[in-house]
Amino acid sequence: MSERALAAPESRYRAAHSQGAALRDRGEEATRGAGRIERPEEGERVRQPDPFLHVSSLSADQGPPNRARGGERRGRDGWRARHVHQGVPALGARTMTLDDENEQIRQRREKLEALRRRGIDPFGGRYPVTHWARGLADRLGNAVDEELKGFGAVSLAGRLVALRHHGKTCFAHLMDQTGRIQLYARADALGDEYARFVDLDTGDFIGVTGEMFRTRTGELTVAVKAFTFLAKSLRPLPEKWHGLKDVETRYRQRYVDLVVNTETRAIFQLRARLIGGIRKFLDARGFLEVETPMMQPIPGGAIARPFKTHHNALDMELYLRIAPELYLKRLVVGGLERVYEINRNFRNEGVSTQHNPEFTTLEFYQAYADYTDLMELTEALFTELAQSLLGTHALQWGEHAISLTPPWRRLGFFEGISQALGMTVTPATDAAAVARAAAGKGLTPHGGAPWELWKDVFETLVEPTLVQPTFVIDFPIELSPLAKRKRDNAALVDRFELFVGRRELANAYSELNDPIDQLARFREQAQLLERGDEEAHWLDEDYVRALEQGMPPAAGEGIGIDRLLMLFANQPSIREVILFPLLRPEGGRAPDEGGTER
């Protein structure tokens, strides 16, 4: 992640905080305390961003591929088909072997048993928290000693992430969702309990109460007066200095990654703020957020291969949606003139640094608008998000400096091709001539229809040049079965794709609302389907019926949220911005797993 994104000015986090993109899971007491200056005696909780967001512990690049998959070994026989439903073995009902013995785990188990023998519950319960780490740092970061003395007792809960024994004292760092704070325990202050404190391991959850002071070296610290066991950690945390680097372990055990890698937390905090910012932007413009089916009998709205599933009680085939488009437009027919949905799509295709089988998109529709309106809306959305989240319109994307300041370049699809080939190309240009020119540029056109060649040329010769934000506009109709034809050129449609950093981030068009034209285009696609083109659109009769009911002119757009976040967080891999990216199971395929569905 870039310095910009992580070590951003304070204002960025304050802005996000004021939008309420903070902690929501600590109950209403936490919510009640928002926005007020906390007084310890009021027992309020503070909601503040992680102060360590400013201190990136990972280098900006992920470095060369790492070896050391490092995670615990899992026995291959750890797989079980746990349930059998109607004779079909459940897939992926995996049981990890949790018996891997290593010295540190054994020691921790022994400590746990020792606690139980003393009548102490190692896995505690409710703990009333009065403060969070970041709140104390903000409130008392510059406080003088007298102020600290008068501040009173504080109670915090969290995970111990560092322990430094020092004679009859012990320093520790406690991490909660907002950041970390130092603890100082003394034998003379804790009495018998000091022996329990010394026995704590990094990774354990405890609750502490005590008073604030500042150490000789100036660090704000809680002098522990009492502490409570909240959860014993049986597994050691990764190394404190190098942390957890192994990419595979970071994805598989994201819980560990989140504990030890500040940057990972920052990415997902940014993700939440990004999505929150989008909602705020659209809500302010009268858009209504909706949710449409993820399981669809006819997967439509995009060109992609779907996942197939089955509903038992209804005994029907269903598909995970590849796009919400056709349902959202049904809502436009129903009079919801401005709608949007932020949700998952599923495509049964390759996995790469750019593609995860499930990915999140924003899709929105605006009646009485066309694609030119959406270009302006998109510019406004991106710049507003960048400004509020990152505090700038200037993004660092790998080696490239990208400026989001509008207006963005608009490049006609055929204009791009013409420039790339050094000849004027239009939909009417002789295909053989285009093929020759393409071959002259090192392209080997693999035959087919003219539009396939145009697409090839564009993707190979034009897209790689689109680093700065560029709207590619006016696509050939063959590539856009759901878009409205241009009034002055029936071979083209009112459509744009937004490219930033060579990647397509958005796709939008003026929606086809002529049911007769739509039906004709569906039928063309249906013929492709029959010829074995798995990616052709299916004929959705109800959708045509909806158009027959009358859909106002509208423009719609889809924006890839994961890719947008990659851009904002300067992350080269989509897996870095998805909490749990799809990976093959550890240890390979289950022996009793049936054939895969396609």
Phi and psi at 274, nearest 5°, equal -60, -50
Cβ at position 497, least distance to RNA in Å: 7
Nearest to 340 by CA among 290, 280, 275, 384: 290
Does 188 contact RNA by CB under 7 A? yes
Cβ at position 182, least distance to RNA in Å: 5
Among 164, 310, 400, 409, which residue sits at the site for RNA (rule: CB under 7 A)? 164
Does 325 contact RNA by CB under 7 A? no
Cβ at position 582, least distance to RNA in Å: 8
Under 8 Å between Cβ of 577 and 562: yes
DSSP letters spanning 116-148: HHTT--TT---------HHHHHHHHTT--HHHH
- Taking phi first (over 0 means left), then psi (-120 to 50 degrees means alpha), and beta for anything else, what does residue 27 get? left
Among 535, 539, 579, 593, which residue sits at the site for RNA (rule: CB under 7 A)? 535
Per-residue binding letters, 384-423, with RNA (x by CB under 7 A): ----------------------------------------
- Collapsing DSSP states into helix, strand and coil, what is residue 436? helix
Among 3, 41, 219, 291, which residue sits at the site for RNA (rule: CB under 7 A)? 219
Among 87, 119, 218, 591, which residue sits at the site for RNA (rule: CB under 7 A)? 218
Among 151, 227, 281, 359, which residue sits at the site for RNA (rule: CB under 7 A)? 359
Count of residues in contact with RNA, rule CB under 7 A: 86
Under 8 Å between Cβ of 438 and 456: yes
Nearer to RNA, 367 or 578 (CB): 578
Among 137, 481, 575, 577, which residue sits at the site for RNA (rule: CB under 7 A)? 575
Does 523 contact RNA by CB under 7 A? no
* Residue 339, beta-bridge partner list: 288, 365
DSSP letters spanning 56-121: --S-SS--SPP----SPP--GGGB----EETTEEPTT-B--------HHHHHHHHHHHHHHHTT--
Cβ at position 26, least distance to RNA in Å: 26
Of 251-290, which residues contact RNA (CB under 7 A)? 251
Task: Count each helix (H run) and each strand (E run) in the chain, helices first.
Answer: 19, 21
- Residue 204 in tokens: 């354990």
Q: How far is residue 426 from each of residues 305, 430, 434, 480, measured CA to CA in Å?
A: 30, 9, 10, 17
Kind plus residue range of the DSSP H or E element containing 542: helix 541-549
Nearest to 137 by CA among 212, 187, 56: 212
Nearer to RNA, 304 or 526 (CB): 304
Of 14-53, which residues contact RNA (CB under 7 A)? none
Does 588 contact RNA by CB under 7 A? yes
- Residue 140 in tokens: 């008392």
**Segment contacting RNA (CB under 7 A): 211-219, 269-277, 407-415, 539-547?**
211-219
- Taking phi first (over 0 means left), then psi (-120 to 50 degrees means alpha), and beta for anything else, what does residue 476 get? beta
Cα–Cα distance for residue pair 382/470, rounded to 1 Å: 13
Contacts of residue 350, defined as CB under 8 A and 6 or more positions apart, other chains included, come to: none
Does 103 contact RNA by CB under 7 A? yes
Nearer to RNA, 29 or 145 (CB): 145
- Residue 551 in tokens: 């859909």
Among 19, 57, 343, 354, which residue sits at the site for RNA (rule: CB under 7 A)? 354
Cβ at position 354, least distance to RNA in Å: 6
Among 584, 591, 595, 598, which residue sits at the site for RNA (rule: CB under 7 A)? 584
Does 573 contact RNA by CB under 7 A? yes
- Residue 462 in tokens: 């034009």
**Segment contacting RNA (CB under 7 A): 124-132, 224-232, 346-354, 402-410?**
346-354
Does 240 contact RNA by CB under 7 A? yes
Among 42, 113, 283, 349, which residue sits at the site for RNA (rule: CB under 7 A)? 349
Of 547-566, which residues contact RNA (CB under 7 A)? 560, 562-563
Of 53-92, which residues contact RNA (CB under 7 A)? 63, 65-73, 75
Cβ at position 353, least distance to RNA in Å: 4
Among 59, 95, 353, 549, which residue sits at the site for RNA (rule: CB under 7 A)? 353
Phi and psi at 419, nearest 5°, equal -65, -40
Nearer to RNA, 37 or 195 (CB): 195
